[in-house]
């Protein structure tokens, strides 16, 4: 390879490396327990823990749903929170369009997304007597002052 050919190859390699930069968004692990009840208008709340960058951050969940909702349930869910650039991206208002049912015990699954692009995907146990097909708004409040090492 000539001197000019090596130079061209190095420039091309440098350009390719500059274009292929790694994403700074990180995925966290989410564990949450939520109790909810309602008839047409539902409400719920709970507590959870976000494991992010080797630390555990407690948070609270409050939600309101409008649509077909009847009964009550307790949900123990585990999953992931993706596209977190900064810890502060996790807190906020999330929207979800979902449907589910539980008679004594069942499986629950939900996907939420906030305005900062964070997507939370959860699944787990649902206990109680409930049927729902509704639009839900969920608010997550992070308490970073009480974080602990992972």
- The rounded average pLDDT for each run of 10 residues, N- to C-terminus, in the chain (150 residues) is 52 44 75 85 89 96 77 88 95 77 66 93 82 77 90
Cβ-based neighbours of 55, under 8 Å, separated by 6 or more: 147, 148, 149, 150
Classify domain 24-149 at the CATH topology level. Lipocalin (2.40.128)
Rg (CA), the chain: 21
Residue 77, CA distances (Å) to 24, 63, 145, 146 in order: 26, 15, 23, 21
**Residue 117 is encoded by which pair of tokens?**
């692009």
CA–CA gap between residue 42 and residue 39 (Å, rounded): 6
Specify the pTM.
0.75
- Terminal CA-CA length for the chain: 52
**Tell me, what's the pLDDT at 5?**
53
């Amino acid at each position: 390879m000539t001197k000019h050919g090596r130079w061209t190859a190095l420039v091309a390699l440098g350009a390719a490396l500059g274009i292929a930069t790694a994403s700074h968004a990180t995925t966290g692990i989410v564990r949450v327990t939520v109790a909810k009840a309602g008839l047409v208008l539902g409400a719920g709340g709970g507590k959870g823990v976000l494991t992010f960058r080797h630390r555990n951050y407690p948070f609270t969940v409050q939600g309101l749903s409008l649509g077909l909702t009847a009964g009550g349930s307790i949900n123990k869910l585990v999953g992931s929170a993706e596209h977190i650039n900064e810890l502060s991206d996790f807190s906020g208002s999330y929207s979800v369009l979902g449907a589910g049912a539980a008679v004594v015990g069942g499986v629950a699954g939900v996907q939420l997304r906030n305005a900062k692009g964070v997507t939370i995907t959860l699944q787990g146990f649902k206990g109680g007597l409930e049927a729902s097909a509704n639009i839900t708004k969920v608010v997550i409040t992070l308490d970073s002052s009480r974080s602990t090492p992972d």
